[in-house]
């Protein structure tokens, strides 16, 4: 009986250690964005965004507030470069505001092969607000902009 109780305690402790928290789950959803960003599947990319998300992309003139406009923006963001472009996040940090809201800030850059030469764009900076809705972490606010040059 004592052995069973000890095994139960070990199992409970182990499950607590391997369970990711809200911050880790939101970061995993954030990473999925970069995996899908350079593919031609805008529907999968759009599924990462809440229907009422606000999107201010690097080349957006206005804030995008509808799913159709978001799909159109991301479809054109790397037009002609899909399949040969890679987007890489780095330098990210996350702030958990609640069990269902996490803010992530970081930088990202894209690498593109053009005429056999590797071209790098960026880094750009990015702020994303992730919200857990049901069982999914969705992007509810997205802002990407060019990183300014450092002052001399």
Contact 87, 74 (CB under 8 A): no
CA neighbours closer than 13 Å in the CB half-sphere of residue 85: 20
Mean pLDDT of 52-56: 94
User: What pLDDT is stored for residue 117 in this prediction?
Assistant: 73
For 44, the domain range is 21-146
User: Is 27 inside any structural domain?
Assistant: yes
User: Is 59 inside any structural domain?
Assistant: yes
Which CATH number do you get for residue 69? Answer: 3.10.450.50
User: Is 151 inside any structural domain?
Assistant: no
Question: What is this structure's pTM?
Answer: 0.77
pLDDT band at 27 (very low <50, low <70, confident <90, very high): very high
Q: Is the pLDDT score of 151 beyond 70?
A: no
Structural domain total, the chain: 1
């Amino acid at each position: 009986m004592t052995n069973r109780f000890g095994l139960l305690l070990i199992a409970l402790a182990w499950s607590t250690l391997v369970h990711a928290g809200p911050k880790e789950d939101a970061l995993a959803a954030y990473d999925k964005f970069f995996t899908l960003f350079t593919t031609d599947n805008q529907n999968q990319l759009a599924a990462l965004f809440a229907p009422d998300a606000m999107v201010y992309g690097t080349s957006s003139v206005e804030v995008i507030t509808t799913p159709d406009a978001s799909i159109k923006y991301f479809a054109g963001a790397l037009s002609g470069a899909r399949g040969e472009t890679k987007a890489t996040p780095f330098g990210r940090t996350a702030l958990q505001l609640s069990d269902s809201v996490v803010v992530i800030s970081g930088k990202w850059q894209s690498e593109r092969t053009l005429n056999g030469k590797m071209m790098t764009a960026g880094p750009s900076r990015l702020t994303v607000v992730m919200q857990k809705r049901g069982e999914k972490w969705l992007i509810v606010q997205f802002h990407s902009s060019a990183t300014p040059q450092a002052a001399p």
